[in-house]
């Protein structure tokens, strides 16, 4: 027997459909819930809901298994049927983590959880502590980034379904790797979204880039908030995931006294205490508002960390003059901005933004740098380039090494995008298989308009719905140890090893960090306790000071010279000096 429940305040009558049989549901109660207990329904039974006089059977908005895709029936799934082996698991703290962002479909040729398991020893040996999965909730089509999910409680069947994700998490924990997962709570995908047949999941009062906003504050919003909170808790409780990354929280339109993020943070804290293991929430936010990561007790939303786009933009624009003055990069492009990002987190912290044409952000006071994630590549910053070309393709290996050095020596929690560590030759392009031809055309044309602001030729943009776009984005594992790929991999390995074993590099106090730079000669130094980082992005060699006579720990090139209190730094090179060399 299985008990079915559904929130469907729009329904006047409702039934569970199994095969050709209909089983009436009782309800609705005062909040709009329906339920039915069906004797024949067990683990593996396919079912759907029939509402009112509509003969069309719809999948369960909370369905745990969509074995037939987003348009087909849901399937009963019993979480208790899986046998775990991680009962003693305690993940590493987020503050000392090195995060690796992974897209399951392109990480391996097979594109499945089981295939990814085979590569876990490689990630552990590299020094990774946390794997962050791009969204794996069920979405329409055979391939995609995952940000257009509609079956938010179900795991993409092509990746391996619910058991596949559990096998992956279990295998990660056995290899001392924590798992974070990207979730999308700001919209549903445009194809296969049947939740709106059941209740008011959206509101016309607010608009987002995807249309109407999720209903976090109006009639029915208690149950909508419950939908997303239950989803978050499910991943951490039933799939043993160690934390979530919340996509684009600036598109949460919520004027409630208790913001949705605050509610979610409080509920996750209770679950963490109950499970006796650390659970974390990471936000992607465009607000430049430290309130996102301030503790609830201090009036914040209680997120544990957030992505730092200002740091990326400031670093990318001094590495790559191609983007100077284009779109949001117009607000960056100087060593001064990069220095501010390193010392103050937000470059735009209550100052006027030329790109936005208004004052943006507020200062970060009294917060550890470990509340912020630093990166030079991620799925957005690579995949939202016209051709999905990676940093090394754009600026060359020497500058890519400098970028990696700055990210991994910065005070922020570092994030590496899959393949970045070996300068993968594969691009990471935007791909999205569409069931609907009109939707495919709309996406393709929308991408062309979006890229016009960057001056890219629209005819060079790969078709998102073409299988070739997806296939060429897969990592090529046979190149990992070859030539410049092997050289970059060893560079990353050494940087990660130094970071994870150096007390100075694990200090999140921003007041302990000092930055110097020369805009004209294009050099920058970062002093972090017993570690000194020296970077030269200029066309000529420079001699920089080493006042504490620190010995050389790492250098991106063999012709770096350290003599007493002086360091000769060739063009496009980085040197890391430390008495804490492990």
Tens of pLDDT along 350-375? 999 999 999 999 999 999 999 999 99
What pLDDT is stored for residue 454 in this prediction?
62
Whether 381 contacts 357, CB under 8 Å: no
Between strands 2-7 and 33-38, the pairing is antiparallel
Q: Is 422 helix (H, G, I), strand (E, B) or coil?
A: helix
Give the position of tokens 């299988």.
467
Q: Is 247 in the active site?
A: yes
Annotated binding site: 245-250, 309-313, 379-384
Cα angle 298, 287, 507 (rounded to 5 degrees) comes to 60
Tens of pLDDT along 439-478? 777 776 776 676 666 666 777 788 899 999 999 999 999 9
Q: Please report which confidence band the pLDDT of residue 183 belongs to, taking 50, 70 and 90 as the band edges.
A: very high
Q: What is the mean pLDDT of residues 153-174?
A: 98
What pLDDT is stored for residue 452 in this prediction?
64
What pLDDT is stored for residue 324 in this prediction?
72
Q: What is the mean pLDDT of residues 43-65?
A: 95
What pLDDT is stored for residue 192 in this prediction?
94
Q: Is 313 helix (H, G, I), strand (E, B) or coil?
A: helix
Average pLDDT over the chain, rounded to an integer = 95
What pLDDT is stored for residue 575 in this prediction?
98
Closest-CA residue to 135 (of 144, 126, 127)? 144
How much of the chain, in percent, has pLDDT values that exceed 90?
Answer: 92
- Radius of gyration from C-alpha coordinates of the chain: 25
Closest-CA residue to 252 (of 210, 311, 197)? 210
User: In the 3-class helix/strand/coil scheme, how is 59-102 assigned residue by residue?
Assistant: CCCCCCCCCCCCCCCEECCCHHHCCCCCCCCCCCCHHHCCEEEE
What pLDDT is stored for residue 435 in this prediction?
76
Tens of pLDDT along 87-103? 999 999 999 999 999 99
Category of 450 on φ-ψ map: left (φ > 0), alpha (ψ -120 to 50) or beta: alpha
Annotated binding site for substrate: 245-250, 309-313, 379-384
What pLDDT is stored for residue 367 in this prediction?
98
Distance between CA atoms of residues 414 and 127, nearest Å: 12
Q: Is 342 helix (H, G, I), strand (E, B) or coil?
A: helix
Domains for the chain: give ranges and CATH numbers. Answer: 2-58 (2.60.40.10), 512-578 (2.60.40.1180)
Q: Which tokens go with 345?
A: 């987190």
Q: Residue 65 phi/psi, 5° resolution?
A: -150, 115
Residue of higher predicted confidence among 51 and 326: 51
DSSP string covering 225-288: HHHHHHHHHHHHHHS---EEEES-GGG----SSS-HHHHHHHHHHHHHHHHTS--EEEE--SS-
Q: Which tokens go with 150?
A: 């509609």
Tens of pLDDT along 116-146? 999 999 999 999 999 999 999 999 999 999 9
What's the pTM? 0.97
Tens of pLDDT along 492-525? 999 999 999 999 999 999 999 999 999 999 999 9
Q: Which tokens go with 55?
A: 């003969």
Q: Is 284 in the active site?
A: yes
Q: Could you tell me the end-to-end alpha-carbon distance of the chain, in angstroms, rounded to an integer? A: 59
What pLDDT is stored for residue 451 in this prediction?
66
Tens of pLDDT along 314-346? 999 999 977 877 888 999 999 999 999 999 999
Q: Please report which confidence band the pLDDT of residue 438 belongs to, taking 50, 70 and 90 as the band edges.
A: confident
How big is the chain, counted in residues?
A: 582
Q: Which tokens go with 400?
A: 């890519």
Give the position of tokens 């994870």.
500
Q: Please report which confidence band the pLDDT of residue 156 belongs to, taking 50, 70 and 90 as the band edges.
A: very high
Closest-CA residue to 576 (of 552, 559, 558)? 552
Q: What is the mean pLDDT of residues 226-243?
A: 98
Residue of 101, 242, 284, 349 marked catalytic: 284
Element (H, E) at 535: strand 531-536
What pLDDT is stored for residue 455 in this prediction?
67
Residue of 101, 170, 247, 420 marked catalytic: 247
3 CB-side CA count, 13 A: 5
Distance between CA atoms of residues 160 and 470, nearest Å: 18
How many DSSP H helices and E strands does the chain contain?
14, 28
What pLDDT is stored for residue 360 in this prediction?
98
Closest-CA residue to 532 (of 558, 557, 511, 513)? 513
């Amino acid at each position: 027997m299985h008990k079915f429940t559904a929130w469907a305040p729009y329904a006047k009558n409702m039934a569970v459909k199994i095969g050709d049989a209909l089983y009436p549901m009782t309800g609705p109660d005062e909040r709009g819930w329906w339920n039915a207990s069906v004797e024949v329904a067990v683990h593996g039974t396919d079912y759907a809901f029939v509402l009112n006089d509509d003969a069309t059977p719809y999948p369960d908005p909370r369905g745990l298994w969509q074995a037939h895709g987003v348009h087909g029936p849901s399937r009963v799934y019993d979480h208790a049927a899986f046998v775990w082996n991680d009962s003693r698991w305690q993940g590493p703290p987020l503050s000392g983590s090195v995060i690796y962002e992974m897209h399951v479909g392109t990480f391996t040729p097979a594109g499945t959880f089981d295939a990814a398991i085979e590569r876990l020893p490689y990630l552990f040996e590299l020094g990774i502590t946390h794997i962050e999965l791009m969204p794996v909730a069920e979405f329409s089509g055979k391939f995609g980034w995952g940000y257009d999910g509609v079956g938010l409680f179900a795991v993409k069947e092509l990746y391996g379904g619910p058991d596949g994700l559990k096998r992956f998490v279990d295998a990660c924990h056995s290899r001392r790797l924590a798992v974070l997962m990207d979730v999308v709570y700001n919209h549903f995908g445009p194809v296969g979204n049947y939740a709106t047949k059941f209740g008011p999941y959206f509101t016309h009062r607010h608009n987002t880039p995807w249309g109407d906003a999720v209903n976090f504050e109006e009639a029915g919003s208690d149950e909508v908030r419950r939908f997303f909170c239950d989803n978050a808790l499910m991943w951490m409780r039933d799939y043993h995931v160690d934390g979530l990354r919340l996509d684009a929280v600036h598109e949460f339109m919520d004027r409630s006294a208790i913001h949705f993020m605050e509610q979610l943070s409080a509920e996750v804290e209770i679950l963490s205490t109950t499970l006796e293991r650390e659970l974390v929430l990471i936000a992607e936010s465009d607000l430049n508002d430290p309130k996102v990561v301030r503790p609830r007790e201090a009036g914040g939303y209680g997120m544990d960390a957030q992505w730092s786009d200002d740091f990326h933009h400031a670093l990318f624009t001094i590495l790559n003059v191609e983007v100077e003055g284009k779109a949001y990069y117009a607000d960056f492009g100087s060593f001064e901005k990069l220095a501010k990002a390193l010392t103050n987190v937000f470059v735009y912290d209550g100052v006027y933004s030329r790109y936005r044409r208004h004052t943006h952000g507020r200062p970060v006071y009294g917060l550890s740098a470990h509340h912020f994630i630093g990166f030079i590549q991620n799925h957005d910053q690579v995949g939202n380039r016209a051709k999905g070309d990676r940093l090394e393709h754009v600026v060359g290996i020497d500058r890519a090494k400098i970028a990696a050095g700055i990210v991994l020596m910065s005070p922020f929690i570092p994030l590496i995008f899959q393949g970045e560590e070996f300068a993968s030759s594969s691009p990471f392009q935007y791909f999205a298989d569409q069931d609907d031809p009109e939707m495919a055309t709309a996406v393709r044309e929308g991408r062309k308009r979006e890229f016009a602001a960057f001056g890219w030729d629209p005819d060079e943009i790969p078709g998102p719905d073409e299988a070739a776009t997806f296939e060429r984005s897969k990592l090529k594992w046979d190149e990992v140890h070859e030539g410049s790929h092997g050289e970059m991999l060893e560079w990353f390995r050494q940087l990660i090893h130094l970071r994870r074993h150096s007390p100075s590099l694990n200090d999140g106090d921003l007041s302990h960090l000092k930055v110097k730079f020369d805009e004209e000669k294009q050099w920058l130094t970062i002093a972090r306790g017993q570690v000194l980082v020296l970077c030269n992005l200029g066309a000529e060699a420079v001699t920089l000071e080493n006042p504490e006579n620190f010995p050389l720990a790492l250098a991106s090139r063999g012709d770096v010279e350290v003599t007493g209190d002086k360091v000769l730094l060739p063009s496009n090179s980085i040197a890391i000096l430390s008495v804490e060399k492990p």
